[in-house]
Amino acid sequence: MTEIKTVAIIGAGQMGSGIAHVCALSGYDVLLNDVSSDRIDAGLKLIDKNLARQVSRGMVTMEQMQAALPRIKSTPELELIGHADLVIEAATENEELKKAIFKSIAPHLGEQTLLASNTSSISITRLASTTDRPERFIGLHFMNPVPLMKLVEIIRGIATDVATYETAATFAQSLGKTTANAEDFPAFIVNRVLVPMINEAIYTLYEGVGTVDAIDTAMKLGANHPMGPLELGDFIGLDTVLAIMNVLHEGLADSKYRPCPLLVKYVEAGWLGKKTGRGFYDYRGETPVPTR
């Protein structure tokens, strides 16, 4: 099995920075890459902020934070990414973008480098087929927020070999995560169950069955969910929710996975949730206010 010491992460957004955060805390050297130095810097600031919050809550010691931060290196040059033992792609949930990333890094990879995608819904087999090493390619789907959520879904493509799986599972568990194996079907396990629930909540709003507040309150108090489905959709990002619903609808050809037209309208309006300031709630004031 490949011994993993250095992990490269492509994508310094919420997911990529979260993966970098937990890798550095667990003693791995991390190379953080994105399309611009500004985006990498934003990711590094987010990591610093989230580690400081963990220190303030007693979840991490100051010594652990001070040891972790220097392990993360801003790495805008793709050729340096190839020096890593494991490369994790954590870009936007767009299949063509992900395939382009894997093609662009191919010339820079070492012979033994493992590739992983943090995709939450896209076929690992299809992504792997665009690389020169489908047997060394695997899905590592971290949950958001990565520093707090304990699960990593591990998804093998049809060509993924046993050694790659065993290395990936050992690596995820070394981060303090629990792993769950998922077959390579659209949206895997968590999002196959979770995102259609969010989509159904949006239909419930669209059809006038309940208001935003009523739907979220009902699910929090009636089903004991920590967060209502519309609030959760805003947290995930409505563009990501729509992308996953499209993958399910196209991949399984079942009308029950049809994205709600209201979800499509919100995404078209650029109201993507918390990250843009508006979704099913307006986050621009002191407290979130329903937008419908």
CB 243 within 8 A of CB 121: yes
Q: In Å, how far are 52, 118, 132, 237 from 240, measured between CA atoms?
A: 28, 13, 28, 5
Q: In Å, how far are 87, 114, 140, 245, 247 from 252, measured between CA atoms?
A: 29, 29, 22, 10, 8
The Cα 240–Cα 140 span in angstroms is 17
The Cα 292–Cα 287 span in angstroms is 15
CB 234 within 8 A of CB 279: yes
CB 116 within 8 A of CB 102: no
Catalytic site residues?
120, 141, 153, 191
